[in-house]
Amino acid sequence: MAKINGNTIKPGMVLEHNKGLWVVTKASHVKPGKGGAFANVEAKNLETGNKLNERFRSEDKVERVTLEQKEFSYLYEQGDALVFMDDATYEQTELQKDWVGEDRVAYLQDGMKVVIEMHEDRPIGLTLPDQVTLEVVETEPTVKGQTASSSYKPAIANNGVRIMIPPYMGVGERIVVDTTTGEYVRRAE
């Protein structure tokens, strides 16, 4: 870990402060007419989700943390845990469903590649692929003449997620969905 000056803090950096890991969400640098420069920093704790507003003077030293990013494959669900395998070492890691987040668990598919950010061999964050391919298992029937309409209709994908799809699509269609917004992107090839 490297010590950095308080005036060099930027959004996106991960800092070790008050015995916790914090990701900087906002940083504004202030140079008052009188006195030394400082940075107003807003940060979020990576483990608890708590927020922090702190003022760092330019002479303050802060530990900057670099997270190691490793690629893992999703294997299977085991009770309240999800099992992932490190693609390089073939070691298996279990993560709790509530840590991953119910909204993201639904998008996991067998063999899916995910990136897990680690700090001192402890998982800190998990990143899913930007898009996944799903199959429509339930939706309203297609109505003739509605293909030109711009309104979307509700559907349920094979992972149980509700999604809005174009009116001309039906059951059995394969679609690409954005994992961050949960929105329909396009028809899958």
| Digitized pLDDT (tens) for each residue of the chain, 189 residues in all | 678 887 788 877 788 888 888 888 888 888 888 888 888 888 888 777 788 888 888 888 888 888 888 899 999 988 889 999 998 899 898 888 887 877 888 888 888 999 888 888 788 778 888 889 999 898 887 666 655 556 888 899 988 889 998 888 888 889 999 888 888 899 888
Question: CA-to-CA distance for 95 and 124, rounded, in angstroms?
Answer: 11
> Does the predicted TM-score (pTM) go above 0.75?
no
| Residue 58 neighbours by CB under 8 Å, 6+ apart | 5, 6, 7, 36, 37, 38, 39
Map 137-178 to HEC letters.
EEECCCCCCCCCCCCCEEEEECCCCEEEECCCCCCCCEEEEE
